[in-house]
Structure 1
Amino acid sequence: MKVLACIFRRSLSTHIAGGLDLVVVPGLAFTLEGHRLGRGKGYYDVFLDKCRKIQGTPPLTVGLAFSQQVVPYVPTDKDDICVDRVLYST
């Protein structure tokens, strides 16, 4: 997890230099509506929330998945942030 924290710190300093345009968000499963099942720690939800607060225009968020990872439902709560697009193989 130290690597992830290091990436987040570098990325947040990128916001000061003009911001991020795109964030590829990992996930174990996605819905077509953009709901995402991560690993349960909320790292990306916190990061994306910071992006939205720091930048005037939030970055586009994309989840990359195999078709088997696209499911009709994933459990979510109020702090989960949806991705804008889900790209998957057919």
Structure 2
Amino acid sequence: MHVSSVWLWCGAVLLGALVASQFFQKPSRAFLWMLRGLVVGCLLMVVVDVIGSYLGFHLPVNPVTVLAAGFLGLPGLAALAVLHLWVLA
């Protein structure tokens, strides 16, 4: 396995453990937290898509990108933009 994919899997496992631990402690609160993350992620993706349309930049909107933008906020959205530019450049 490549070193960067190992770090990616470690991050995914840690994020999954965080979500699972919150869900088992307080299920209704964890559900609202995830729902809020989805709504915020969708709104952030729409803002980036509207602003990016003027600059010729487009981030794909799918469950992974919306969850990353919602749970990680602006740093997650910035990371998605950098990854998108890095992969397509």
Same fold flag (TM > 0.5): no
More RCO (CA 8 Å, sep 6+): 1
* Structure with the largest fraction of strand: 1
* Structure with the largest fraction of helix: 2
Q: Could you say which TM-score interval applies, normalised by the shorter chain?
A: 0.3 to 0.5
TM-score normalised according to structure 2 size: 0.32
Larger Rg: 2
